[in-house]
Structure formats: structure tokens, C-alpha cells
Structure 1
Amino acid sequence: MEPSPAIEDELMALRVAGHDRFAQLMSDYWSAAVAPYWPAMRGVLEEEILIRGRTLVTCGADMMLRELGGRIRWERPELNVPHQADLDWSMTDGRLIIVSVLFARGTRVFSTLHDTVAFSYQAQGAAVLSGHGSDIGKPVDDPRPRDSLTILLGRGRAAVLRALLSPTTTTGLASSIGLAPSTVSQHLAVLSSAGLVRRHRVGPRVLYELEDSGVILLSELGG
């Protein structure tokens, strides 16, 4: 599959087609509403794709479909994807495209074309972004209430623990909470030594996720 064009290429195509005013408005919107948060948003989506791909390779398609969560249900041979309109679609040798998105909530995109079916679902890590748009990219030294988790672990480690709602790389964490990767790496080393976080390698990447003790601590003190 060909990669999607960069935003700059999309805007240039609009200008070449004579839509200068629309291209300028889109550029302004991108700069104000998306660009400041794009590294964190992209990191969440990349981690989601990596996680689903790992499950597909190691556990098979059945497990990957069952773990999509939400109201999506896989009971072989039927895949139930709630949509605004009822639709039954039979597939034999066609292609199924699953698209992870951010901020989807109850809205789902469902599309069919010839022998291809595509649908969207909300990425797990989207919870990191939801409701915290104004905090994305800000350093964790910004003033915030002195909650119990922060008092116990310190602001940096508390921020790292809160951001681990789904398996994530050091770079992904750094983008989402506004700390340098080296600082995040130090926090992860301490949290791992304390038994709150575990790491595992998937190909060339190292993912970090919460241990059961980390989940319990977060639920009790995370606020």
C-alpha cells in the first residue's frame, strides 16, 4: 500500500488546482489545531499498529480481532462492527482493512468496494490524548495538583506511569508527555526495577507496559 501524501504535498496539489484560499485555510487549521499535537498523535497510532501486528503474527487473526475491544465482536465466522446503519456483508476471498483512529468514540467508518471491506476503531492509546489536548507537548514540570501518585513517585515517573495505558516505546512516551527520551528512559529503568513496568522486544523495538502491580497502583493513586 502506498503511503499517504504529506500535508505539504496535499496543500500544494490544492494550490496547483487553483484552490489557494482553501489551501491557506487548511494550512492555518493544521498549524493551529493539529501540528502542535501531531507527534503524540502519530506515536499513539504507530504503537497501536505495532501491537496489533504483533498479536496477528504471534497469536493469529482470531485473537487480534477479539482484542480490538469496544463493541466490536468476533465470533467466527461473523465479525460484528456496530455502525450507524445496519449492513450485512459476506466475504470469501476478499480483503479486510482495519484502520485505527483517534477520537472516534461512537463514530465508525465502514466502507465496501468490490472484494474489500474496511472499518475503523478507536486506538487503545487514544485515552492518553482524550481530554488532555492542552497538556500534550508541555513539560511535566508545569504546575498540577499534588496528587498521591506524584507525591510517591515524583512528577516525571508519575507522568510516565499514567501514559502507559498501552504498550509504548520510549520515544512514544517522550512525545506524549513532553520529556526528553533520555529522561523517560531513566524513569522507565526505575519503574522497571520497582516491578511496576515490564519491557519486551518486538523486532527492533522495545515496548514498555504496566505490570499488574503498576495497574493496581495507578488505579488506587492515579486520580
Structure 2
Amino acid sequence: MPYLRIHFTEVDLGRTRLASRIDHMWEIVNAVQLLQHREGGLYFDGWRRRVRQEAFAEPRLQRLLHTLLPIAPHAEYFPDFLTPAGEFDDLDDALDAVVSVPKPRLRREMALLGGESAPLRAIAGGGAPALRGLRAALGGFYRVAVQPRLAVVEAARHADLARRLHTLGHDGVEAVLTGITPGAVWEPPVLRLPYVVDSDLLLAGRGLRLVPCYFSLQRPVALADPALPPTLTFPLDPTTRLLAPEHRPGDHLGALVGTTRAAILRLAMDGCSSRELIRRTGVAPATVTHHTTILRDAGMIATHRDGTVASHHITPLGLQLLHRSG
């Protein structure tokens, strides 16, 4: 089995960090690739059907996919410039970074991609019309395929991030690293991950940015160019990737379990201590204890203790209830 071997120094362990917000470009690229195979049907078949039905009915979406499928293939390589390093405030900033790539790098990465289609040759040439077209295709695909699920994506990411931060606080960075994917092995100072090709990544003091992705499915992915800021993306915990149906507006959860328990369940999405629950719900400590006990006994939250501090985190069952209740 091929592996990606990531070589850490002590400095790198201190500089390893989890992305705190959605990475729009990684989600777009992963979503484009999901349309090119049938795996992950439990999570994504309904999403695929909707996007394909819209593409069949809407010529403009067909043109977007005609541009994007060749440049983000479901393959061992796609150009790094599609997923610029760093965290961006919004999608427009990320798209600007994509089309602002230096021309020599653009030509080099497009040459590695190969392909002789007219859209690919035009993008490789770096002309303004071709790059504007690529920007429009990426943004248009996001609005059709990602944005309608954005609330679900964010909820799943928050639940996944809360779990990993809890692991970091209780078990340390090594537990976070080995929890990235099944088969991950920590052999200090090297993290070994099952990968599509044998490869080594030397961090050399630069640290590592970890990016959990909703539309990622199969394996971790690193940037192809080891000279770029080290980034590793990987699938969310499968239990948090819930494609929930649309709901009528209203606080259905509050009507079902009561407003205080509903508030506690929502706060537990990001992890919340008992003291913080008391402050943010405005109820008495005994009342918070009563409600967290009921939610925990029902399997909706999990409680972890560190000395005298209790922290509460939503479970997959609680997250599913939250989504299905709108």
C-alpha cells in the first residue's frame, strides 16, 4: 500500500492547526470530483441526483461542468492553484486568489495536468477571458452545488471540529493526527497515512494546516507541490456528514424537547462547559444539570470531565435530531 509520510519537527507539532472555517475552494474541488464517481452513495446519491437533474435542465450548468470536470478530475492530480493556501473571509476572496496565480506557476501546473481540450489550453495560456471564465464557473458551481447545503455543511463541520478539539485537549496532537483517517500511524517524528502514491512531505518548521472537508470522501489529500504551505485535507467523520432534507421554518426542536434543552443541544455543537451553559441559557445550575442529564441519557450529548470542569459535546444522534428538526 502506498503512503504519504509527513515528517515533523518539534516546531511543526506546535504549528499544526485545524482550519477554523470552511475552505470554499477545497469543498468546490471535492464536490466536482464527487460527480465523477459513484462512491459514498449513502451520503451523496441524493445530492448527485439533484445536481445532475439541474445540469440536464439548465444549459448554463452544463457549460460550467464542461469547464470544471477536466480541470478537477477524479484522479491522482489536479492543479494546486485551485486550492490556494490560507483562510479567506469569503468565497470572492478565494476566487480572486485562484485567478491571481502567477503565470509561470499556472503554466507549470496545467502542464502536469495534461489534456488538450480548448478550455484547458485557454486556461493554461493565462489570458484574462479564460481566467474570468474559470472564476465564473467555480462561483456558479458553488451556488448550485454547495451553497444549498451550506447550513448542513457548516453544522457537520462544527460537530467534527468540536470532536477534534476535544481530542486535542484531552489526548494531545498525536491523537488528532492519527484520527485523520483509518490506517494512520504515528511513528515519531513521522505521520504515515494511506495515500494514492508513495510520497514524503518535509514540513521543515512550516507547520501543517489540517482541513476537514464535507465533500471529501475517500482519503487525505495534500498539495502536490511540497514547496507550497503544507496543507492536508481529509474527510469529516462520516457520522457528521448528514445530508438533511429541507424543513419549514420554525423552532421544531424547541417544540419537541423544550426550549432550554434545545438551546443546550445547539450550544453543545461547538462544545460547551456547564458554567458556559448556565451563563448562556440564563437558568439555574441545578436546572442545567437536570437537562444535560436527560440529554446525555438519551444519547444526544456526551459529557467529558477534566477535574471539576464538565464539557458537553453533541453526539451524531443529537446532530441528526438537530437537523431533522430544522
Flag the 1:169–1:87 CA change in 2: closer, same or farther, 3 A. Answer: farther
What amino acid is aligned across from residue 72 of structure 1 in structure 2? A
1:198 — aligned with what? Answer: 301
1:101 aligns with 2:185: no
The answer (yes or no) to whether the contact 1:73–1:79 under 8 Å persists in 2 is yes
1:170 — aligned with what? Answer: 266
Structure 2 stretches lacking a partner, 5+ long: 1-84, 100-127, 249-255, 258-263, 270-290, 319-326
The answer (yes or no) to whether the contact 2:159–2:240 under 8 Å persists in 1 is no
Moved more, 113-122 or 53-62: 113-122
1:123 counterpart (236, 246, 256): 236
Distance (whole Å) between structure 2 residues aligned to residue 99 and residue 197 of structure 1: 26
Distance (whole Å) between structure 2 residues aligned to residue 115 and residue 94 of structure 1: 10
1:83 — aligned with what? Answer: 195
1:74 aligns with 2:74: no
Give the length in aligned residue pairs.
169
Instruction: Tell me by how many angstroms 1:60 deviates.
Output: 1.2
Distance (whole Å) between structure 1 residues aligned to residue 218 and residue 241 of structure 2: 16
| 1:32-71 residue CA offsets vs partner (Å, 9 max, x unmatched) | 2111101111222233223222322332112222333423
Distance (whole Å) between structure 2 residues aligned to residue 6 and residue 81 of structure 1: 31
1:207 aligns with 2:320: no
Flag the 1:192–1:92 CA change in 2: closer, same or farther, 3 A. Answer: same
Instruction: Tell me by how many angstroms 1:86 deviates.
Output: 0.3
1:6 aligns with 2:94: no
The answer (yes or no) to whether the contact 2:213–2:233 under 8 Å persists in 1 is yes
What amino acid is aligned across from residue 122 of structure 1 in structure 2? P
Provide the secondary structure at the position in 2 that maps to 1:4. coil
Flag the 1:137–1:127 CA change in 2: closer, same or farther, 3 A. Answer: farther
| 1:155-204 residue CA offsets vs partner (Å, 9 max, x unmatched) | x78xxxxxxxxxx962797xxxxxxxxxxxxxx9796174433344899x
Distance (whole Å) between structure 1 residues aligned to residue 239 and residue 296 of structure 2: 26
TM-score after normalising by structure 1: 0.54
| 1:63-105 residue CA offsets vs partner (Å, 9 max, x unmatched) | 2223334232223333111222101345564412222112323
Distance (whole Å) between structure 2 residues aligned to residue 32 and residue 116 of structure 1: 30
Q: Which has the higher helix share?
A: 2
Instruction: Tell me by how many angstroms 1:25 deviates.
Output: 3.7
What amino acid is aligned across from residue 137 of structure 1 in structure 2? E
2:246 — aligned with what? Answer: 137
Distance (whole Å) between structure 2 residues aligned to residue 171 and residue 44 of structure 1: 14
The answer (yes or no) to whether the contact 2:265–2:301 under 8 Å persists in 1 is no
What amino acid is aligned across from residue 33 of structure 1 in structure 2? A
| 1:1-56 residue CA offsets vs partner (Å, 9 max, x unmatched) | 96314124456786xx6555444444432222111101111222233223222322
Give aligned-pair identity as a percent: 14
Distance (whole Å) between structure 2 residues aligned to residue 172 and residue 42 of structure 1: 14
Flag the 1:197–1:97 CA change in 2: closer, same or farther, 3 A. Answer: same
Flag the 1:42–1:198 CA change in 2: closer, same or farther, 3 A. Answer: closer
Flag the 1:172–1:32 CA change in 2: closer, same or farther, 3 A. Answer: farther
Flag the 1:115–1:136 CA change in 2: closer, same or farther, 3 A. Answer: same
Q: Give the greater-gyration-radius structure (CA).
A: 2
Distance (whole Å) between structure 1 residues aligned to residue 86 and residue 194 of structure 2: 28
